[in-house]
Amino acid sequence: MADPKGFLKVTERELPPRRPVPVRILDWKEVYEPGDSAVLRRQAGRCMDCGVPFCHKGCPLGNLIPEWNDLMWRGQARSASERLHATNNFPEFTGRLCPAPCESSCVLGINQPAVTIKQVEVSIIEEAFARGWVEPEPPERLTGKTVAVVGSGPAGLAAAQQLTRAGHTVAVFERDDRIGGLLRYGIPDFKMEKRHLEYRLRQMQDEGTRFRAGVEIGRDITWDQLRERYDAVVIATGATVPRDLPIPGRDLAGVHFAMEYLVESNKAVAGDQVPHQISAAGKHVVVIGGGDTGADCIGTAHRQGALSVTNLAIGKQPPAERPDTHPWP
């Protein structure tokens, strides 16, 4: 267990500072400053190593959270990185993007703010990258079997990496011009800079995964052809169908789906020429919907120079802190 009295000594959550709003809306770089290792160790030391670690269950990947909290508290970052990668191919993505159901499940949250699990996660992988511990892990022998993965979002990439490491010959097909799915064209750089994606793609290439961008299965190659050419096919095509709002005025000029807007913005930030790009510059913007996608549109509109941004969400305004009437994780 990390520090047995850690949760008694340190009762506050500490996170790295965010770059000031007036500064960060001038560029597309990430919002958070780099973390401080002493703060991180203190936070990792707050983990109680619960007999029933609800955080394991909260995490869809089953991340071994108390184990790597303990290792980080002991200063054993390399072992922490190995335990983290045991359940998670891409902690640099989840450590930045995941809504952290592990933290909502943290038992410490009953009477204290939860352990900063997501921050520990991203710090482990940042240190692993900085120290060169994230290396290609090519298979020792090939099985002779071939697999096509259709879709290059996080699901397709994780499947492809596991299958390649198991010795299969894997090709990832992506209809967009670049690999990455919503990591590339949905999520803006201020939440996750694309260099993190590029680094993993290089690792995967070095392990032997092949990437085929600009190929739509069902159009450029039929599903039957794919099935004939490969021993197995993994479908990881995501869900790109937006939910429309069929109300009067929906068809007016200037009303767009989030993913029309965000894809173009991501392309422009990547340096592409985007003719007639939808831009919020000099406009008053209303974002309908208050989830991750809405938040990305808000941040994008501010960085493009919107005159004002108003967010409309159907739910009640959530409290800033966990309410007293809802103490259980």
Ligand X SMILES: Cc1cc2nc3c(=O)[nH]c(=O)nc-3n(C[C@H](O)[C@H](O)[C@H](O)COP(=O)(O)OP(=O)(O)OC[C@H]3O[C@@H](n4cnc5c(N)ncnc54)[C@H](O)[C@@H]3O)c2cc1C
> Which residues here bind ligand X, judged by CB under 6 A?
97-99, 150-156, 173-176, 181-182, 186-187, 191, 216-218, 236-238, 258-259, 262, 292-293, 296
Residue 303 amino acid letter: R
Q: How far is the CB of 259 from ligand X (least distance, A)?
A: 6
Nearer to ligand X (CB atom), residue 108 or residue 226: 226
Considering beta carbons, is residue 71 or 158 the nearer one to ligand X? 158
Smallest distance, Å, CB 86 to ligand X?
Answer: 20
Task: State the minimum distance, in angstroms, from the CB of residue 98 to ligand X.
Answer: 5
Cβ neighbours of residue 204 closer than 8 Å, sequence gap 6 or more:
157, 160, 161, 164, 211
Beta carbon of residue 269, minimum distance to ligand X (angstroms, whole number)? 14
**In this structure, what token pair is assigned to residue 282?**
């000099």
The beta-carbon contacts of 221-225 under 8 Å, at least 24 apart in sequence, are 221/173
State the DSSP code for 309: E
Q: What are phi and psi of 284, to 5 degrees?
A: -90, 125
- Beta carbon nearer to ligand X, 108 or 160: 160
* C-alpha–C-alpha distance, residues 56 and 74, integer Å: 21
Cβ proximity to ligand X: between 119 and 152 the closer is 152
- Phi, psi (5° rounding) for residue 88? -140, 115
When the beta carbons of 109 and 153 are compared against ligand X, the nearer one is 153
Least Cβ distance, residue 296 to ligand X (angstroms): 5
SS3 327: coil
Q: What angle do CA 6, 7, 9 make, to 5 degrees?
A: 65
Q: What is the phi-psi region of residue 282: left when phi exceeds 0, alpha when psi lies from -120 to 50, beta otherwise?
A: left
Alpha helix (H) residue ranges in the chain: 6-9, 21-24, 37-44, 54-58, 65-73, 77-85, 91-97, 101-105, 117-130, 154-165, 182-185, 194-207, 223-229, 258-269, 292-304
Nearest distance, CB of residue 275 and ligand X, angstroms: 21
Closest to ligand X by CB, 109 vs 154, is 154
Which neighbouring-strand residues pair with 172?
149, 211
CB of 49 to ligand X, least distance (A): 26
Select 138 or 218, whichever has its Cβ closest to ligand X: 218
